[in-house]
C-alpha cells in the first residue's frame, strides 16, 4: 500500500504543468450596439417681427396745407382697427435718403426745393395660420417749410423830374412766384397732384363650431345621452382658418361642461337628461381671434340628444 501511494505521488509530480485559461461566459458575444440617436428638431417657432404692434390708426391720405407763408405736409388717419399689425421701418429727416424709398404704396413727396419729405416708413402685416405676413409699406409724411416774404422795393429818387409829355411808360417786373430758399434763389411752384388713398381692406371674419379641431363648422349636431362630446370653436378670415384668441360660453344646457372659457382647447359637454318633446338645445359662444382681437364674433350650434344612453 505504501509502495502504491509513493508511485501515485511520483506520477503527479512528473505531470507537465499547463497554464489555466479562464474564460468569462459570452466573452466574445458582445451585445449589439444601440441604434444611433437621431435628434428630433425643435418645432419651428412662431416668429413675431420685432417691434410689431396692433394697428388702431389707419392711413387715409397725404395732406398738404398752406397757411400764409408756411406749407405743412402731414398724413390723415382714421382711428379704427382693420385687424392688421405694423412696425416702424425707418424715420428720415428732410432730404435724407432711405433704403425704403420707392417701396411705399403712397410714395414719398418732396419739398418745393426738391428735397424728400421727412417722415416715417411703416410695414403692415396680416396674421395667418402660418404667421405674420407682410402686405405693404406706407410712408407717413411729417414736414413743413416757410417761404420768405418778398421785400417791398422803394423807388429810387430821380435826378430830374421829366415833363409829363416826355415821360415814358414805366417798366414793371412781375414778382417771381413760389417759395424761395434762404439765399433768395427762387424755386419752382410745387405741383400738388391728387393722390388716391389706398386703405388696407379689413378681412371678412366668421366663426362656427366643429366636432374636430380641423373639422367643418356645423349648425346642428346629434349627440348620445351620456356621451362626452368635444366642440371646437373655429374662426376664419376670408375663408382661411385663423387662430382663436379666446372663447366664452354664453348659453348652454348640458349636465356637464368642462369650462366656460378657453382659447385653443375645445369645450367638452355631456347630457344625461332628455329634452322635452320637440325641444332642441343649443350652445352659443363668443369668440375673439388673433387677427382682430377686438372684434367680437358669435357662433351657435343646435344640439339634439338621442337615447339610449351610452356610458364610456
Rounded to whole angstroms, the Cα distance separating 63 from 142 reads: 10
Residues whose CB falls within 8 Å of the CB of residue 181, separated by 6 or more in sequence, listed in order:
113, 187
The tens digit of pLDDT for each residue in 242-269 reads 999 999 999 888 889 988 899 889 999 9
The tens digit of pLDDT for each residue in 81-118 reads 778 899 999 999 999 999 999 999 999 999 999 999 99
Q: What is the pLDDT of residue 66?
A: 87
And the C-alpha cell for 26? 459570452
Q: In this model, does residue 183 exceed pLDDT 50?
A: no
Give the DSSP letter string of 77-137: EEE---S-EEEEEEEE-TT---TTTTTSTT---B-TTSPBPPEEEEEEEEEETTEEEEEEE
**Which CATH code, of 3.20.20.70, 2.60.40.10, 1.10.8.60, 2.40.110.10, is assigned to 205-306?**
2.60.40.10
Rounded to whole angstroms, the Cα distance separating 269 from 252 reads: 9
What stretch(es) of the chain map to CATH 2.60.40.10? Answer: 205-306
Rounded to whole angstroms, the Cα distance separating 22 from 38 reads: 40
The tens digit of pLDDT for each residue in 185-234 reads 454 544 445 555 555 677 889 999 999 988 899 998 888 888 899 999 99
Closest to 138 (Cα-Cα) out of 64, 67, 205, 88: 88
- 130 — pLDDT class (breaks 50, 70, 90): confident
Amino acid at each position: 500500500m505504501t509502495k502504491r501511494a509513493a508511485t501515485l505521488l511520483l506520477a503527479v509530480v512528473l505531470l507537465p504543468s499547463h497554464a489555466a485559461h479562464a474564460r468569462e461566459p459570452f466573452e466574445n458575444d458582445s451585445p449589439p450596439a444601440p441604434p444611433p440617436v437621431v435628434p428630433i428638431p425643435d418645432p419651428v417657432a412662431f416668429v413675431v417681427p420685432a417691434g410689431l404692434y396692433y394697428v388702431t390708426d389707419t392711413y387715409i391720405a397725404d395732406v398738404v396745407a398752406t397757411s400764409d407763408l408756411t406749407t405743412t405736409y402731414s398724413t390723415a388717419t382714421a382711428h379704427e382697427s382693420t385687424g392688421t399689425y405694423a412696425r416702424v421701418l425707418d424715420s428720415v429727416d428732410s432730404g435724407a435718403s432711405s433704403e425704403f424709398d420707392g417701396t411705399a404704396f403712397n410714395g414719398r413727396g418732396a419739398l418745393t426745393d426738391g428735397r424728400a419729405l421727412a417722415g416715417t416708413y411703416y410695414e403692415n402685416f396680416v396674421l395667418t395660420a402660418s404667421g405674420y405676413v407682410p402686405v405693404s409699406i406706407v410712408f407717413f409724411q411729417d414736414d413743413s417749410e416757410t417761404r420768405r416774404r418778398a421785400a417791398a422795393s422803394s423807388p429810387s429818387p430821380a435826378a430830374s423830374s421829366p415833363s409829363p409829355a416826355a415821360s415814358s411808360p414805366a417798366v414793371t417786373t412781375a414778382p417771381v412766384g413760389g417759395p424761395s430758399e434762404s439765399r433768395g434763389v427762387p424755386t419752382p411752384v410745387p405741383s400738388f397732384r391728387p393722390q388716391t388713398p389706398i386703405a388696407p381692406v379689413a378681412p371678412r371674419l366668421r366663426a362656427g363650431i366643429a366636432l374636430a379641431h380641423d373639422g367643418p363648422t356645423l349648425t346642428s349636431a346629434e349627440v348620445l345621452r351620456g356621451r362626452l362630446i368635444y366642440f371646437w370653436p373655429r374662426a376664419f378670415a376670408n375663408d382661411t382658418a385663423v387662430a382663436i384668441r379666446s372663447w366664452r360660453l354664453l348659453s348652454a344646457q348640458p349636465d356637464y361642461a368642462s369650462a366656460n372659457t378657453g382659447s385653443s382647447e375645445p369645450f367638452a359637454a355631456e347630457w344625461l337628461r332628455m329634452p322635452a318633446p320637440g325641444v332642441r338645445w343649443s350652445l352659443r359662444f363668443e369668440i375673439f381671434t388673433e387677427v382682430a382681437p377686438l372684434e367680437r364674433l358669435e357662433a351657435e350650434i343646435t344640439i339634439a340628444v338621442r337615447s339610449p344612453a351610452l356610458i364610456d
